[in-house]
C-alpha cells in the first residue's frame, strides 16, 4: 500500500487551485444580472467551452474513481459506456440538437411542454431534480469523500463530504453557469493531462503491451464479455448501455444545460462532436491504468481506490498536489453542474410559471438559495452509496431502472408525429415509479437476481409498450403545430442543400461521419 502523504508544496498547490476557482466564481458572478445569464451564461458560449464543459461534467467521481475501479475489477468492458457515448453524441448532433436550440427553451422539461404539454414538463422536472440530487451530486460527493479519506483518515467521512458540498456550492452560488463552464474547461485539460501521466508511467513500469494484457482479469481484455457476466454482459450493451447513453447525453438537463448555452447551432454541434471525440481516449487515461494496477496490487480490498493509490505511489512530491487538484476538479465538475442545473429546473419550471411576478433580482436570490438547499440534501444522501460494491454500479443500476421512460418519451416525441401528450405524461408517471421499485427490490433488498442492464431493457420495453399503447388510444395531435419539434425528411433535405456549398472541414455531417468510423475501428481492435 502506498503512503498517502502530502508534502507542503502539494497542499500549497491544492490551496491555490481552490482559491482560483472561488475567485473565478466571484469575478464571473458579478456579471450575472438575470436568470438567463446565471443559468445559461447568456446563451453565448463558444464551442470549445461547450465541448470541454460536457467532458468535464462527465469526468466526475464516477469516471475518475469508478472507471479505474471497474477496470481493476472487471477489465476494459466498462469502456462500452464511453465509446457508445461517442456514437450517441454523433446521433445527437445530426438529428436532435437543432430542435433544442431553435426552441430557445431554458430547461429540458420546458422542451417537453413545447412538444407535449405542461403536465409532462412538471413531471419530468420533478424527476430530474430527484435524479440530480440522489445520483449525480450524491455520487460526486461520495467519491470526493473517498479521496479525502485517504489523505485525512482521522476525519469522519461525513465531515469530508460536508466540506466538499460547501466548496462546490459556494462558487456555483457566486458565479452561475458561466463560472461553471470556464472552470470546467480548465479542469478538463488538467484531468486529461493527469490521466496521461499516470498511464505512461504505469506502462513504463510494466514494460510492454503484453504485460498490460496479462494484468487484466480473465476475459478482461475485451469490450464484449459473456452474456452471463455479472458486471457488463455483451447483450447489455444493446439493452442498457445504448439507452443509458441516450438518457445522459440527449435528455439529462444537467448535461443539456451546457448545450443550451451555446452561441449558435453550429457552436453547439462542434462542441458536442468535440466531446464525443474526447470520450475515446478514456480507455487509456482511466480504464487501462486501473487494469494495469492489478499487476501491482493484486489483492486490493476496494477496487475504487486503485487510481488514487497509483497516483500517490508513482508521482513525485509536488506533482501529487496537481493530481489531487485534478481529482477535486473531477468531483466538483459534476457537483457544480448538478447544483446549478437543479436550481435552474426549480426556478424556470416552477417559480417562473406559478404565483406572482418576481423581479430578476428576486429570482437570482431564489436561485442561489436553491443551490444551498440542494447542496445540503446531496450531502445527507451521499453516505448511502456505501451499501454498493462500486460507484459505477450504483450510478448505472439506478439510472438503468428509472430513466427508460424518459428516453422513450423524448425520442418518441422527436421522431413520431403521432405521439401524444397523454401518452408522454402517463408513461413517465407510471413507468418511473415502477423502475424505482424494481431498483429497490433488486439492487437494495435483493429480492430477485437480474443484471441491471437487462433490467434496463425490461423497463425500456415496458415504457415503449405504455407509450405506443396510450398514443394509439389517444386523439392524434395537429401535425402542423409540431413541425418545429419533430424531425422530418423535408427539413433534412433542405439542410443538405445548405451544406452543399460548405467546405468538407466545415460540414458537421462529414465530421460526424468520420468520428463514427474512427470509433467503430477503434472498438474493433479490442473485441
pLDDT digits (tens, 9 = 90+) for 509-525: 999 999 999 999 999 99
From residue 243, how far is each of 18, 99, 444, 517 by CA, in Å? 36, 20, 22, 20
Answer yes or no: is pLDDT of 288 > 90: yes
* pLDDT classification of 234: cutoffs 50, 70, 90: very high
Residue that has been written with the C-alpha cell 447525453 in this structure: 249
Of 520, 521, 513, which is closest to residue 94 (Cα–Cα)?
Answer: 513
Cβ within 8 Å of residue 427, ≥6 positions away: 405, 408, 409, 463, 466, 467, 470
CA terminus-to-terminus distance, the chain: 33
Q: Are 307 and 165 within 8 A, CB to CB?
A: no
Instruction: Name which residue leads in pLDDT, 175 or 376.
Output: 376
**Helix 8-29 crosses helix 319-346 at what angle (to 10 degrees)?**
30
Check whether 10 has a pLDDT greater than 80.
yes
330 pLDDT above the threshold of 70: no
Task: Report helix, strand or coil for 476.
Answer: coil
Distance between CA atoms of residues 191 and 177, nearest Å: 20
Helix axes 404-415, 421-439, angle to 10 degrees: 160
Instruction: Give residue-wise pLDDT tens across range 87-116.
Output: 999 999 999 999 999 999 988 999 999 999
> Any bridge partners for residue 225, and if so which?
233
- The CATH number given to 43-150+198-317+383-524 is 1.20.1730.10
233: DSSP letter: B
Would you say residue 386 has pLDDT above 70?
no
Diameter of the chain measured on Cα atoms: 69
Beta bridge partners of 233: 225
Rg value, the chain, Cα: 22
> Residue 326's pLDDT is what?
66
Q: Which residue has the cell 486503485?
A: 306
Q: Cell for 459?
A: 423497463
Helix (H, G, I), strand (E, B) or coil at 354: coil
Q: Mean pLDDT over residues 234-250, rounded?
A: 94
Where is average pLDDT lowest: 205-219, 389-403, 415-429, 454-468? 389-403
Contact by Cβ (8 Å): 133, 342: yes
- Write down the pLDDT at residue 284: 93
- Specify the pLDDT at position 333: 63
* Helices and strands, counts by H and E, the chain: 27, 0
Distance CA 513, CA 86 (A): 11
Residue 1 clears pLDDT 60, i.e. is over it: no
Question: DSSP code of 473?
Answer: T
Mean pLDDT for the chain overall:
84
Helix axes 253-260, 108-115, angle to 10 degrees: 90
Residue 499: CB partners within 8 Å, gap ≥ 6? 507, 508, 509
Please give the residue that has the higher pLDDT: either 254 or 138.
254
Range 146-170 average pLDDT: 73
Residue 185 is predicted with a pLDDT of 81
Q: How many beta carbons lie within 10 A of that of residue 224, not counting itself?
A: 18
Phi-psi sector, 6: left (phi>0), alpha (psi -120 to 50), beta: beta
More confident residue, 358 or 262: 262
Per-position DSSP letters for 402-460, written without gaps between them: HSHHHHHHHHHHHH-TT--HHHHHHHHHHHHHHHHHHHIIIIIS--S---HHHHHHHHH
pLDDT winner (highest mean) among 87-91, 159-163, 285-289, 385-389: 87-91
Length of the chain: 527
Residue 441: CA count within 13 A, CB half-sphere = 13
Contacts of 19 (CB under 8 A, 6+ apart): none
pLDDT at 156: 78
Q: Which regions of 72-114 does DSSP assign to beta strands (E)? A: none
Q: Is the pLDDT of residue 394 over 70?
A: no
| pLDDT in the model for residue 358 | 76
Give residue-wise pLDDT tens across range 411-460. 999 999 999 999 999 999 999 999 999 988 987 788 888 988 999 999 99
Q: Give the closest residue to 499 by CA, choosing from 508, 491, 490, 512.
A: 508
- What is this structure's pTM? 0.89
- Closest by Cα among 339, 432, 359 to 132: 339
Report the share of the chain in percent with pLDDT over 90: 40
pLDDT at 335: 73
In a 13 Å sphere around the CA of 198, the CA atoms on its Cβ side amount to 34
- Which of 363, 388, 325 lies closest to 134 in space, CA to CA? 388
* pLDDT at 33 (0 to 100): 62
DSSP per position, 315-342: SPTTHHHHHHHHHHHHHHHHHHHHHHHH
What is the distance between the alpha carbons of residues 297 and 292, in angstroms, rounded to a whole number? 9
Residue 2 reports pLDDT greater than 60: no
**Residue 508, CA distances (Å) to 100, 131, 499 in order:** 17, 32, 9
pLDDT at site 348: 84
Structure confidence at residue 167 (pLDDT): 72
Looking at residues 262-277, what average pLDDT do you find?
94
Amino acid at each position: 500500500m502506498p503512503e498517502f502523504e502530502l508534502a507542503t508544496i502539494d497542499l500549497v498547490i491544492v490551496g491555490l487551485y481552490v482559491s482560483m476557482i472561488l475567485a473565478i466564481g466571484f469575478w464571473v458572478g458579478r456579471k450575472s444580472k438575470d436568470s438567463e445569464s446565471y443559468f445559461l451564461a447568456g446563451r453565448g458560449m463558444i464551442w470549445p467551452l461547450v465541448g470541454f464543459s460536457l467532458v468535464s461534467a462527465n469526468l466526475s467521481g464516477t469516471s475518475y474513481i469508478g472507471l479505474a475501479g471497474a477496470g481493476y475489477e472487471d477489465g476494459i468492458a466498462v469502456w462500452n459506456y464511453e465509446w457508445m457515448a461517442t456514437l450517441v453524441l454523433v446521433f445527437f448532433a445530426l438529428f436532435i440538437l437543432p430542435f433544442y436550440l431553435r426552441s430557445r427553451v431554458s430547461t429540458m422539461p420546458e422542451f417537453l411542454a413545447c412538444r407535449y404539454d405542461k403536465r409532462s414538463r412538471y413531471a419530468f422536472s420533478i424527476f430530474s431534480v430527484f435524479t440530480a440530487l440522489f445520483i449525480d451530486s450524491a455520487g460526486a460527493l461520495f467519491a470526493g469523500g473517498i479521496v479525502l479519506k485517504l489523505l485525512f483518515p482521522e476525519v469522519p467521512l461525513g465531515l469530508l463530504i460536508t466540506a466538499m458540498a460547501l466548496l462546490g456550492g459556494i462558487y456555483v452560488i457566486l458565479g452561475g453557469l458561466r463560472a461553471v463552464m470556464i472552470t470546467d474547461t480548465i479542469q478538463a485539460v488538467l484531468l486529461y493531462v493527469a490521466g496521461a501521466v499516470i498511464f505512461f508511467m504505469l506502462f513504463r513500469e510494466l514494460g510492454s503491451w503484453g504485460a498490460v494484457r496479462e494484468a487484466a482479469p480473465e476475459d478482461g481484455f475485451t469490450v464484449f464479455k459473456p452474456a452471463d457476466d455479472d458486471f457488463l454482459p455483451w447483450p447489455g450493451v444493446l439493452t442498457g448501455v445504448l439507452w443509458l447513453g441516450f438518457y445522459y447525453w440527449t435528455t439529462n438537463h444537467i448535461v443539456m444545460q451546457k448545450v443550451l448555452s451555446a452561441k449558435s447551432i453550429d457552436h453547439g454541434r462542434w462542441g458536442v462532436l468535440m466531446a464525443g471525440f474526447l470520450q475515446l481516449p478514456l480507455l487509456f487515461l482511466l480504464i487501462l491504468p486501473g487494469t494495469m494496477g492489478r499487476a501491482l496490487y493484486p489483492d486490493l480490498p476496494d477496487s475504487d481506490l486503485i487510481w488514487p493509490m497509483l497516483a500517490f505511489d508513482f508521482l513525485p512530491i509536488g506533482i501529487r498536489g496537481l493530481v489531487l487538484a485534478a481529482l477535486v476538479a473531477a468531483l466538483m465538475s459534476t457537483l457544480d453542474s448538478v447544483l446549478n442545473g437543479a436550481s435552474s429546473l426549480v426556478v424556470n419550471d416552477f417559480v417562473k410559471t406559478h404565483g406572482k411576478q418576481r423581479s430578476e433580482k428576486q429570482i437570482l436570490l431564489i436561485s442561489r438559495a436553491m443551490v444551498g438547499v440542494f447542496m445540503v440534501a446531496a450531502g445527507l444522501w451521499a453516505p448511502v452509496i456505501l451499501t454498493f460494491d462500486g460507484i459505477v454500479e450504483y450510478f448505472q443500476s439506478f439510472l438503468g431502472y428509472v430513466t427508460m421512460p424518459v428516453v422513450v418519451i423524448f425520442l418518441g416525441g422527436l421522431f413520431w408525429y403521432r405521439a401524444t401528450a397523454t401518452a408522454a405524461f402517463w408513461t413517465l408517471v407510471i413507468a418511473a415509479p415502477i423502475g424505482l421499485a424494481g431498483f429497490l427490490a433488486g439492487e437494495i433488498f435483493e429480492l430477485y437476481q437480474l443484471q441491471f442492464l437487462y433490467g434496463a431493457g425490461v423497463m425500456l420495453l415496458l415504457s415503449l409498450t405504455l407509450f405506443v399503447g396510450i398514443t394509439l388510444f389517444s386523439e392524434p395531435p395537429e401535425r402542423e403545430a409540431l413541425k418545429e419539434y419533430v424531425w422530418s425528411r423535408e427539413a433534412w433535405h433542405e439542410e443538405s442543400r445548405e451544406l452543399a456549398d460548405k467546405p468538407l472541414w466545415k460540414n458537421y455531417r462529414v465530421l460526424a461521419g468520420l468520428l463514427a468510423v474512427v470509433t467503430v475501428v477503434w472498438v474493433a481492435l479490442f473485441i
